[in-house]
Amino acid sequence: MAKVAEILKNPRIFAGLLVLIVCGLLFVRYPLKAFSPQSAGAPGDFTVYLRASDRLAQGVSPYVSSDSSPYKYSPALAGMTSCIPHEQAWFLFSALSILGFGAALFFGGAYRSFKSVALLAVGYSLAWKGVLETLDYGQIDFVLFILGVFAARWVIEKPFWAGFVVGCLPAIKLPWLLMIAPFQVESLTDAGENPKRVLLKRRRIFLSGVALALLTWLVVLPLLFWGPMRAWDLTYDWILLLAKGQPSSLFLSDINQSIGLLVWRLTGHELSVSLSAVMGGGVALFLGFWILHMRKLNPVSPRKFPLAWLAPWLLLIQLVSPLSWRWASLFAAAIPLAIVRGEPKTEWFKRWAALWVSVLILWILQLNPVARALGFEAWTDFHGWGLITVYWIALVLISVSE
C-alpha cells in the first residue's frame, strides 16, 4: 500500500497516463480505422507520397509542377517512403506519428506537480484541432515536432547529434532551415560556468552535425537509393520545382495563415504580396527578438525543459513560412508548459489574464457551433481574417511572458 500511495503522489505517472489515454484515442480513430471496411484509405495529402513512389517505380520523376498538390520533398525522403508497402504505409506512419508525439510530450516536459499535468491537458486542448487535422490530411508535422523536441533535449550534452537532427528538418520541410538560428543563438549559451571557448567549441560541433545531416540527405542517401545519374536527375528536378514555386492561388488562398499573407489581407490587398511578405517578416523578426529578450531575463534550459524552450520557436517558424496551414496548431501543445517550465505560479496567471482570455476567445472561434451561432457557415470562414495567425502570435507572446 505504501508503494501505491507513493505512485499516486508522483505527477509524472499521471502525465504518462494522460499521454497514453490520448494516444489510445487517436490510435483508435486513425491507425486502427485503416483496417475498417468503411475506411476511405490514406488521407489525400498522404497519397502524394504514395503517388511519388509509384512514379519512381515506373522510372519517371515524381516532381510534376502541374499536379494539384505537387510532391516537393527531397529525393532522399522519396527513397525512404518508397521502401514502405502501400498497404501498410498509412497505418505505420499514423501509428508512429501518434506514439512519437506522445513520447515527445512526455519526455520533453518537467512534470513536478499536478498543476503541470493539468497544463499538459490544456496543451492538448490548445492543439487538439491541429492534431486531428494533421492526421485527417496526412501531414508530416508530427515528425518535425518529435525531432525538434529531442534535438533540444540533446543540444547541451550531445551537440553533434542535436545538430544532426536539426539538419534533418529542412530536408523534410525547407523553411525549417530557420530552426538552426535559435539553436545557435539561444540554446548553446546554456553553459553555466563554462568559458567562452567551450561555447564556441560546442557551436562548431553543433554546426558540424548540421552539415553532416545536410550532406547525408542531399548526397549520400540519394546516391544509395537511386545511384549517381538518377540521383542527379531527381535532385535537379526537385530544385527546379522549388524554384518554380507553386501556383499563386495556393499562396493567396484564405487557408494560408502565413503572417505575410495576413498583412496583405489587412491592407485590403493594396500592397504587393512581396512587400506584404517583407512586412510580415519584419513582424516575425520582432517576435524573434522579443523571445530572445524575454529569455535573457528568464533563461530556459533546453536540457531541463526542452518543450518549454522549443515551444515559441515552433510557432514562429509557422508564422514566417510562405505556406502555413492551420493544422500547425498542433505545436501549441507545448505552450502551457513553456510559460511555467513545469512549476506553475498562480500570480503569473493573474498578471497575464487578458492574454489568456484572448487565446480562449480565439480558440472558441475555431468551434463550428460557435461560428454558426454567429451567422457563419463554418469556422473556416474566419481564415481570411487571419484567425489562426493571430492565435499563434498570441500563443508565442504568452509562452515567453514571465
Distance CA 7, CA 307 (A): 24
Distance CA 306, CA 141 (A): 18
Query: In Å, what is the CA distance from 275 to each residue of 139, 148, 178, 310?
Result: 29, 31, 20, 29
Reported as a single tens digit per residue, the pLDDT across 30-65 is 988 876 666 667 888 898 999 999 999 898 999 988
Instruction: Give the DSSP letter string of 337-371.
Output: HHHHTTS--HHHHHHTHHHHHHHHHHHHTTSHHHH
- Structure pTM? 0.90
Residues whose CB falls within 8 Å of the CB of residue 147, separated by 6 or more in sequence, listed in order: 165, 166, 168, 169
Reported as a single tens digit per residue, the pLDDT across 94-116 is 999 999 999 999 998 888 888 88
Distance CA 378, CA 395 (A): 23
Distance CA 392, CA 304 (A): 25
Residues whose CB falls within 8 Å of the CB of residue 341, separated by 6 or more in sequence, listed in order: 110, 300, 304, 305, 308
Reported as a single tens digit per residue, the pLDDT across 147-199 is 999 999 998 889 999 999 999 999 888 889 999 999 988 766 655 555 677 77
Reported as a single tens digit per residue, the pLDDT across 244-293 is 766 666 677 778 888 888 888 877 766 777 777 788 888 888 888 888 88
What is the mean pLDDT of the segment spanning 68-93? 88
What are the structural domain ranges in the chain?
2-400
Per-residue pLDDT at 357: 86
Distance CA 335, CA 395 (A): 7
Q: Would you tell me how many other CB atoms lie within 10 Å of the CB of residue 194?
A: 12
DSSP code of residue 258: -
